[in-house]
Amino acid sequence: MIISNSNPEKVFTVSRTASFKTENGGTTWEGNEAVWQGVNGVWLGNLEKRSVAVHPQNDEIIITGDGGGIFYKSANDFKFEHVYNLEDRANNVVQTIKFSLSNPSVVYAGISIYGGYSIDRPNDGFDLTESSYGMLKSTDGGKTWTDNLNHGLENSQLNIMEIAVHPNDENTVYIATLNNGLYKSVNGAASWTKIGNDIAGKDTRSIAIDKNNPDIIYVGTQRDGIYKSADGGNSFTKLTTGIESEGAIRDIQIDPQNSSRIYAADWLSGVYLSDNNGVTWRIINDGLKNRAVQRLAVSADGAYVYAGTQGEGVFRMTTVNKGPVLQFTSPDHLQTLNVSDNVEIEFLISAYDFNGDNITYEWFLNNVKINDAAATSYVLNTASLNGEINKLKCSISDGFNSPLEIEWTINTGTTDIKKTDFLSFQLSQNYPNPFNPSTIISYEIAKETKVSLEIFDILGRKVETIVNEVQSAGNYNIKFDGSRLSS
């Protein structure tokens, strides 16, 4: 997915059948091309669109790739021209295409087998030893291509999952490979050197280079989270605070206006955000219908973030003048709380502000302001309530936008619930669901407590305990692998 550098409302993306564009921020979309049928009706391979690139200085020049090859369209062309043919290379697809920002005449393309497997290594149907056709390069803006630029990649199976070009040097290029880590070229793809012993042999899927300091590189892996280099890729450190350590990171994007702000797309958990160069992360899934996020794009002004998902289309988030965003509540504010009278309940809430504005919290009980409440928590004794149904509200404001108001409904008309400690956690739906063989279970706890997470089968029999320890307050993502259990 690519956003025009001159118009943040103009976005290009690909789907199974074609490439699409919008010129109104995603309100409506139009197809850029029909399904490629091959030459004289002869099928040229996997036609599922895999990649799109747009000239950084002229968004009328578009290049797309699929199992048939590479297709080029300029402002003067009515339709795409088939400029590179993959017809005699079964199972190869053009996985990624990247323009050089410093010299857009130079374009790189990477080919992989089947586009790589989706999540886990399959038991059958995917030959991990099969090699693709590897790297290609164009020096005329994508009209013609030179292939077989694979010197130094002979042991990598040539499955190229992503490309990143140095922002100031069209000859310095990084490629992420399937199960073979990261490679670097300093001579325009004439030869390649394996780099980053810390990620050697890993299934790397995404790369992002900090344009303000190109020695800083972020790499996303399949099932091993995010790594960061501060020395041009010679060494890497894994980033773990607030982010799933076994995340399937499909894309990483750096805010063009603020390089300390990084977005990461996780196929399992949604979108992560770091505001401090990757030191800490948090999930920002508000509004996403599908957490299987494949691609991200950030507009040149940093005002818009687009997320392309698996099966649910494209979503857009505005970051400028954005009001407070809810992170979590405890207890869950979306469900009525059925409690006994004369018990204490601790309500907790957390929000963040994209623009760094100070956030204030105000609490109201049945529309009467509570003056002695703490900022992000309030302890309510139900003995003080009048009537069975009561409303507790927290109003969160940044002083500029309309307040974010969160409300709990409290029902004291029940007498069989005496303890309320269980209200200080939130367990989310596992994802994917159904799963085979593994899934991610996410939960939040509001304070340090003993956590026990057990798995039961359909007959109610416990099959495994996956967590049984004291944990600190925060968000947790636990992987459950059912492959070792008897069916």
Alpha-carbon distance of 35 to 47, in angstroms, equals 7
Mean pLDDT throughout 236-256?
A: 93
Mean pLDDT throughout 139-161?
A: 91
Is residue 289 predicted with pLDDT exceeding 90? no
- C-alpha closest to that of 244 among 477, 441, 429: 477
Mean pLDDT throughout 386-395?
A: 90
Q: Residue 436: which pLDDT band, with cuts at 50, 70 and 90?
A: low
Q: Residue 33: which pLDDT band, with cuts at 50, 70 and 90?
A: low
Is residue 424 predicted with pLDDT exceeding 60? no
CATH number of 2-322: 2.130.10.10
Cβ atoms of 338 and 411 closer than 8 Å: yes
Percent of the chain with pLDDT over 90: 49
Q: What's residue 225's pLDDT?
A: 93
Q: What's residue 37's pLDDT?
A: 47
Is residue 382 predicted with pLDDT exceeding 80? yes
The pTM of the full predicted model, rounded to 2 decimals, is 0.77
Is residue 356 predicted with pLDDT exceeding 90? no
**Half-sphere exposure (Cβ direction) of 69: Cα atoms closer than 13 Å:** 25
Mean pLDDT throughout 408-425?
A: 62
3-class SS string, the chain: CEECCCCCCCEEEECCCCEEEECCCCCCCEECCCCCCCECCECCCCCCCCEEEECCCCCCCEEEEECCEEEEECCCCCCCEEEEECCCCCCEEEEEEEECCCCCCCEEEEEEECCCCCCCCCCCCCCCCCCCCCEEEECCCCCCCECCCCCCCCCCCCCEEEEEECCCCCCCEEEEECCCEEEEECCCCCCCEEECHHHCCCCEEEEEECCCCCCCEEEEEECCCEEEECCCCCCCEEECCCCCCCCEEEEEEEECCEEEEEEEEECCCEEEEECCCCCCCEECCCCCCCCCEEEEEECCCCCEEEEEECCCCEEEEECCCCCCEEEEEECCCCCCEECCCCCEEEEEEEEECCCCCCCEEEEEECCEEECCCCCCEEEEEHHHCCCCEEEEEEEEECCCCCCEEEEEEEECCCCCCCCCHHHHEEECCCECCCCCCEEEEEEEECCCEEEEEEEECCCCCEEEEEEEEEECCEEEEEEEECCCCCC
Alpha-carbon distance of 382 to 389, in angstroms, equals 11
Mean pLDDT throughout 10-17?
A: 87
Is residue 278 predicted with pLDDT exceeding 90? yes
Is residue 64 predicted with pLDDT exceeding 90? yes
Over residues 73-103, the pLDDT tens digits come to 988 776 888 999 986 667 889 999 999 999 9
Average pLDDT, the chain: 85
Percent of the chain with pLDDT over 70: 85
Mean pLDDT throughout 241-251?
A: 90
Is residue 336 predicted with pLDDT exceeding 50? yes
Is residue 105 predicted with pLDDT exceeding 70? yes
Q: What's residue 188's pLDDT?
A: 98
Is residue 486 predicted with pLDDT exceeding 60? no
Is residue 366 predicted with pLDDT exceeding 90? yes
Q: What's residue 35's pLDDT?
A: 45
Q: Does 326-420 match 2-322 at the fold level?
A: no
Q: What's residue 124's pLDDT?
A: 45
Q: What's residue 426's pLDDT?
A: 62
Is residue 419 predicted with pLDDT exceeding 80? no
Is residue 253 predicted with pLDDT exceeding 80? yes
Q: Residue 442: which pLDDT band, with cuts at 50, 70 and 90?
A: confident
Q: What's residue 458's pLDDT?
A: 53
Mean pLDDT throughout 34-42?
A: 49
Q: What's residue 58's pLDDT?
A: 95
Alpha-carbon distance of 186 to 193, in angstroms, equals 9
Q: Residue 45: which pLDDT band, with cuts at 50, 70 and 90?
A: very low
Q: What's residue 417's pLDDT?
A: 46
Mean pLDDT throughout 139-153?
A: 95
Is residue 165 predicted with pLDDT exceeding 60? yes
Over residues 300-327, the pLDDT tens digits come to 999 999 999 988 899 999 988 888 888 8
Domain ranges of the chain: 2-322, 326-420, 428-481
Is residue 467 predicted with pLDDT exceeding 70? yes
Is residue 154 predicted with pLDDT exceeding 90? no
The highest-confidence range among 37-46, 281-290, 437-446, by mean pLDDT, is 281-290
3-state secondary structure of 3: strand
CATH number of 326-420: 2.60.40.10
